[in-house]
Amino acid sequence: MKAAPPGPGVAVVPRGARTGDGTLMVGTCGYSYLEWIDGGFYPQGSRSADMLGLYGRCFSVVELNYTWYQMARADALARMVKTAPEHLRFAAKLTRSITHEREENWREQVRLYRRGVAPLRQRLLAVLLQFPPDFGRSLDNRRFLAELLDELQGLPVAVEFRHVSWAVDPVFAELERRGVTLVTVDTPALPELFPMLDVVTNPRLFYVRFHGRNLSGWRSGTMQKKFDYDYRESELRQWCETRLSSLFRGGERGLLFFNNHVRAQAPRNGARLLDILATTGGREAHEPGTLCSAS
């Protein structure tokens, strides 16, 4: 008899006789999208205030991306945690005033952020540091990243690079020494972008972001075009059979987030990936072949 799955959107994946099972948590980058009502994920008439609870019927982890647009505030996150489904876990993006629009007082910004995300406590699985495409591996940027990781010590940090210059072994070795997760990205195949790799720098956690492969949309300057992509069955199946297997050889738990939010493609693709895992040996929470809909 198969063991009961641990929660919706969570798959238990065999890693091998010597390493035991691995856990994969699938979710989306953000959850509060009104267009997901017309996209069929949320029921007609859903209010923004209802969406986190509805989301939790299908997934057990969500990436909070509004903390990139505005500084995390403890009172707001405490209210959110109070109403969130008990099984739901979180990743929280670091504020843009630190990663993209760095100010002289960025250390104070980090202290504000740490206080802001404190209500998440044991439900916080990762803090995502996503750097912009023009953040190359210069001496100044290397020094800043080292200082920033020092300031964030004690938090479960994951780093996403967009510039290809960071894809070198010394970077991977330093992240591994610090116990920091390197984010694996699925993006359009553009030479200046950080490539799709299956390098695991933290054996406790790997982290994947599916941005979509919309080549023309990526450079359009609009979010709706950039993240408008619907992964094909063959592309998701290839991920499960190749990339995921490789990532699980290095890490015991993975977070997979879909960022292609346009027209609710993100939750639909996440549910489809879980279906594929269920047919290839994984144990997951919803019936394979059914759309993970909150309605």
Q: Given this model, what pLDDT does residue 291 score?
A: 46
One-letter identity of residue 125: L
pLDDT tens sequence across 253-280:
999 999 999 999 999 999 999 999 888 7
pLDDT at 133: 95
Angle in degrees, CA 185, 39, 236, rounded to 5: 35
Query: pLDDT by residue (tens digit) across 143-195?
Result: 999 999 999 999 999 999 999 999 999 999 999 999 999 999 999 999 999 99
Residue 230 burial class via C-beta count within 10 angstroms: exposed 0-12, middle 13-18, buried 19 and up: middle
Nearest by Cα to 213 from 177, 236, 240, 189: 189
165 HSE (CA, 13 A, CB side): 11
- Edge-first strand order for the sheet with 206-210 is 10-14, 21-28, 253-258, 206-210, 181-186, 157-160, 124-130, 89-93, 61-64
pLDDT higher than threshold 80 for residue 117: yes
Mind listing the pLDDT tens digit for each residue in 209-231?
999 999 999 988 898 999 999 99
pLDDT above 90 for 129 = yes
pLDDT for 295 beyond 50: no
Residue-level pLDDT at 4: 46
3-class secondary structure, 75: helix
Q: Where are the alpha helices (DSSP H) in the chain?
A: 35-38, 51-55, 66-69, 74-83, 96-99, 106-117, 139-151, 169-178, 215-218, 223-226, 233-238, 244-250, 265-279
